[in-house]
Amino acid sequence: MANTTAVYARIDTDLKENAESILSKLGITPASAIQMLYSQIVLRNGMPFELKLPYTAPIAMEGLSREQLDIELQKGVDSLKNGKGLTADEVDAQLRREFGI
């Protein structure tokens, strides 16, 4: 038998119940799911998914004051000066990816 150890974690009750309901439909026990997560962490030498803060919706120009608009435009100018410009196709692709538009 494999050498095993216990993992204890306190999580939100609703989150646990919802996750375990989905796992049950998939035929996976909570212990197996944790084993899979840990295996992927080891294989990838990090988390098996991207960790980042959610994006906010794009800023609508009509909602900006003159000063706020100037700040946003300056960010674009600074980006171009630093060689970080994007083509129109790259901007479209990024907007689709990040905001679904």
| Domain final residue pick, 51, 75, 90 | 51
Has residue 56 been placed in a domain? no
23, 30 Cβ separation under 8 angstroms:
yes
- The whole-number pLDDT of residue 55 equals 67
Range of the domain at 75: 61-99
76, 82 Cβ separation under 8 angstroms:
no
- The whole-number pLDDT of residue 51 equals 84
Q: Which residues of the chain have pLDDT under 50?
A: none
- Cβ neighbours of residue 48 closer than 8 Å, sequence gap 6 or more: 37, 40, 41
Q: Is 69 found in the same domain as 40? A: no
d(CA 59, CA 70) in angstroms, rounded, equals 13
3-state secondary structure of 26: helix
